[in-house]
Structure 1
Amino acid sequence: MKTNFVKYGRKDDQDLCEITLQNDHGMTVKVLNYGATLEKVLLNGENMILSLKSPEDYSKERNFLGGTVGRIAGRVRHGQWKHGLETHQLPLNDGENHIHGGIGTDMQVWSFRPSCDEKVARVDLTLFDPDMHNDYPGNLKLHARYELDNDNTLHYCLEAVSDKLTIFNPVNHTYFNLGEHAADLNLQMNADYYLPVDASGLPDCGMVEVANTAFDFRTAKRIGAALESNDEQIKLRNGLDHPFILNGNKPATVLSSAEHKLTVSTNAPALVLYTANHFNHTGIPDNIGQYDGITFEAQCPPAEGNDFGQITLLAGDKFKRTVDWKFE
């Protein structure tokens, strides 16, 4: 096991660093302290995820690639959430809605500490997000951990605690492609229901069975079969951009190509799948095109209205999200 890091820049009077984790079989993981971002996953030298061309590119333009996105990942309708008789207003940064926490945790520089022993190589990253930053109440302390073992499994854990009642539904936003075009990969997922969305990308009619729809991945099938279907939901979002409700069977999902397999396990109740629909080989990510990767955003499913009981964090409550990515 081995860890090291290099400084590649400065932002907000803090050092920007790339941390490398390596196991005894040569699998290498690169993490940035900018946004607690998973930058690269190298298996036999081949990158399993979508990455920008250089570490410096990540802070030039917000693209969510591998970032720890919060405090809320996804959209909040009209930027409003209710608790009791109070209505709290978040900034509107996606038309009439709020999205991805405003100037979110993926856009901030985290403190970090690498370590390793005979079993794992890891990096611990911490961030203090102050009360009312992006209009979210509560001083929030976050602790993200990436841990690589000799089974070629990368363990991701995000913990947080707030000193005030707040809402919290973060996600790791890595796009996986196993070195290929995502549309050509096979996907199997233990989800019997998904959430259709409206034109703004928010759920609007509750859960719908995946049976006999393009969203049925209970048996492994090519992702392109869904993307090429005539399903109105697929056409509305130009691809997959939908929450799937996990049915509790393990693992959550398996992504495979002819050469590689990724098995995803998580304690989250849902996965939001997004097939990189908006990328078009322009801007900073000009090396990435539509459907080049797929996210498995492990989180609570987005709410239809402004009742956020499922993601409400009481003062002193401890939040913990775990995701394991096993590569073969």
Structure 2
Amino acid sequence: MKVVKEEFGSKDNQTVFLFNLINDHGVEIGCINYGCIITKIITPDKDGNFENIVVGYDTLNEYEKDSYFLGAAIGRVAGRIKAGSFELDGHTYSLAQNENNNHLHGGIKGFNQVIWDAEIIESEQEAAVRFTYLSPNGEEGYPGNLKVSVTYTLNNKNEFSIHYSGISDEKTLLNMTNHSYFNLSGDLKRDILNHSLMIKSDKFLELNDELLPTGEMLDVRGTAFDFTSGRIIQTGVISEHPQNKLAGEGYDHPFLLNTQHNNEIVLKDSESGRTLTIETDEVGVVVYSGNQMKSEGVIAGVPSRKYLGICLETQGLPDAIHHQQFPSWILEKDEEHSSKTIYRFGIENN
């Protein structure tokens, strides 16, 4: 197990570093301390070919211009906050409105656009990088000086974990996730429409025209949102369900998980044989099938287009601050937030 550190570029007179976490089986995770961005995940297919299974750029300049949040840590709050405002203890806080009138993924300069401190941690069985950042009181409108850390760990079981933690000197909000776009075909050879996805979830959140939760939790049964036995992504793209249409022909929806750390999310690509199993502490996962990706430009030598990757964003439910029936992501003063998501890379046994 080892971590290889190299220069990736510079921003604001600071060096941005690439950290390559490599296990004894050749699985490799690339991540940079700008936005805690995961640039690559190298895993084998059924024939032993090692290829990248996430969508990522080759240069820092491309990440600085990126509007898709490729591979990034998202915070302080993932997803949308209605009208870019919320109330805590009788005080109204105004946030950056960076998507129409709403606040999205932490604002104009969220966690995905800052340079984090980084510490390498190595052992015989694990290789890790711990990223830390102090988000000052008032940043993007949020209260409290918030100390956050994101730790990426790869082990010899071909498991990659993300541990999020945070503590604030004032009551505030915190709901972090990672925004990697997975494509198990390897090196973006195909889109993700023929990937199959299984989620242990009986309910998903209804969205309005602004992709904000209405507050209604809909039953997945008999719909293109039923992933309980596995479903090909393309079935949601061609679905006539109004929620699939609303999302731009596909998915951009939060699902409530029935269980935690129990093989609750499994993505498969039958052609490559690759599987990705995700387990988490979080109550939900946002499934985004890349519907808004544009057919312009090039990503890692491949033309950009819809459905080039699928995001599986483990997190609290979006806009929970405006829905009392949703699990809260209010972080009390001096109380530590901690959550963990594990990604297990495998090969399907035919």
Q: What do the CA deviations read for 1:94-151 (whole angstroms, capped 9, x no partner)?
A: 1111111111001000111222111011111111111101111111111111111111
Q: What is the CA-CA distance between 1:306 and the residue it aligns to?
A: 2.7
- Alignment partners' CA distance in 2, 1:114 and 1:243: 33
Assess if the C-alpha contact under 8 Å between 1:196 and 1:233 holds in 2: yes
Identity %: 32
- Alignment partners' CA distance in 2, 1:165 and 1:287: 44
Partner of 1:110: 116
- The structure 1 residue matched to 2:313, chosen from 276, 287, 297, is 297
Alignment of 1:8-87 (within 5 A): 8-44=8-44, 45-87=50-92
Secondary structure of 1:191 counterpart: coil
Partner of 1:317: 335
Shift of the 189–317 alpha-carbon distance from structure 1 to 2, 3 Å rule, reads: same
- Alignment partners' CA distance in 1, 2:335 and 2:191: 41
Letter of the 2:311 counterpart? T
Letter of the 2:5 counterpart? F
Q: What is the CA-CA distance between 1:221 and the residue it aligns to?
A: 1.7
- Alignment partners' CA distance in 2, 1:117 and 1:86: 47
- Alignment partners' CA distance in 2, 1:201 and 1:221: 23
Partner of 1:224: 234
Letter of the 1:327 counterpart? F
Letter of the 2:241 counterpart? D
Letter of the 2:118 counterpart? F
- Alignment partners' CA distance in 2, 1:119 and 1:229: 45
- The structure 2 residue matched to 1:100, chosen from 99, 105, 109, is 105
Letter of the 2:295 counterpart? H
Q: What is the CA-CA distance between 1:56 and the residue it aligns to?
A: 3.8
Assess if the C-alpha contact under 8 Å between 2:18 and 2:32 holds in 1: yes
Partner of 2:253: 242
Assess if the C-alpha contact under 8 Å between 1:60 and 1:284 holds in 2: no
Q: Does 1:200 align with 2:200?
A: no
Q: Does 1:211 align with 2:221?
A: yes
After TM superposition, the score normalised by the length of structure 1 is: 0.96
Q: 265-274 or 7-16, which moves further after superposition?
A: 7-16
Secondary structure of 1:234 counterpart: helix
- Alignment partners' CA distance in 2, 1:51 and 1:230: 31
Secondary structure of 1:118 counterpart: coil
Q: What is the CA-CA distance between 1:72 and the residue it aligns to?
A: 0.9
- Alignment partners' CA distance in 1, 2:297 and 2:56: 14
Assess if the C-alpha contact under 8 Å between 1:122 and 1:145 holds in 2: yes
The unaligned stretches of length 5 or more in structure 2 are: 45-49
- Alignment partners' CA distance in 2, 1:192 and 1:310: 20
RMSD: 1.6
Q: Does 1:261 align with 2:275?
A: yes
Shift of the 304–116 alpha-carbon distance from structure 1 to 2, 3 Å rule, reads: closer
Secondary structure of 1:142 counterpart: strand
Q: Does 1:150 align with 2:160?
A: no
Q: What is the CA-CA distance between 1:28 and the residue it aligns to?
A: 0.9
Assess if the C-alpha contact under 8 Å between 1:4 and 1:114 holds in 2: no
Letter of the 1:310 counterpart? S
Q: 87-96 or 144-153, which moves further after superposition?
A: 87-96
After TM superposition, the score normalised by the length of structure 2 is: 0.90
- Alignment partners' CA distance in 1, 2:177 and 2:116: 16
Secondary structure of 2:62 counterpart: helix
- Alignment partners' CA distance in 1, 2:82 and 2:39: 30
- Alignment partners' CA distance in 1, 2:125 and 2:304: 35
Partner of 2:47: none
Assess if the C-alpha contact under 8 Å between 2:79 and 2:319 holds in 1: no
Q: What is the CA-CA distance between 1:60 and the residue it aligns to?
A: 2.7
- Alignment partners' CA distance in 2, 1:248 and 1:85: 34
Assess if the C-alpha contact under 8 Å between 1:53 and 1:287 holds in 2: no
Secondary structure of 1:195 counterpart: strand
Secondary structure of 1:206 counterpart: strand
Partner of 1:270: 284
Secondary structure of 1:71 counterpart: coil
Assess if the C-alpha contact under 8 Å between 1:127 and 1:143 holds in 2: yes
Letter of the 1:276 counterpart? G
Assess if the C-alpha contact under 8 Å between 2:68 and 2:293 holds in 1: no
Q: Does 1:281 align with 2:295?
A: yes
Partner of 1:163: 169
